[in-house]
């Protein structure tokens, strides 16, 4: 994994594209500051997001993470700091 994949903006961009694809909406309609359930994700699509993020970032994630960080923006910031910490950066 390179550093570009792990910065907050890149993670947020990836999440927005993933959600747009799942919901069949233009990426521009995915607001990273709106809670994911208000975007239209249900429990199964939220789990799909987390599982795909695990693969994308190469770290283990718990599905409950979206309860702690319910927006894509907040989740992305958390994940970027977590990836950096796991790399020892």
User: Would you state the pLDDT for residue 34?
Assistant: 96
Question: Residue 71: pLDDT above 90?
Answer: yes
User: Would you state the pLDDT for residue 89?
Assistant: 54
Cβ within 8 Å of residue 36, ≥6 positions away: 19, 46, 49, 66, 70, 71, 72
Question: Residue 4: pLDDT above 70?
Answer: no
pTM of the model: 0.89
3-87 architecture in CATH?
Orthogonal Bundle (1.10)
pLDDT digits over 79-88, tens only? Answer: 999 998 887 7
Question: Residue 3: pLDDT above 90?
Answer: no
Please state, in angstroms and rounded to a whole number, the distance separating the CA atoms of residues 24 and 82: 29
pLDDT over 90, % of the chain: 81
The residue behind tokens 């999440």 is: 15
């Amino acid at each position: 994994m390179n550093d570009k994949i792990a910065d907050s903006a890149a993670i947020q961009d990836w999440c927005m594209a993933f959600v747009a694809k799942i919901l069949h909406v233009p990426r521009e309609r995915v607001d990273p500051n709106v809670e994911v359930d208000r975007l239209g994700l249900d429990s199964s699509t939220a789990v799909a997001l987390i599982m795909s993020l695990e693969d994308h970032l190469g770290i283990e994630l718990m599905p409950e993470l979206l309860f702690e960080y319910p927006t894509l923006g907040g989740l992305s910031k958390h994940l970027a700091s977590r990836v950096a910490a796991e790399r020892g950066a």
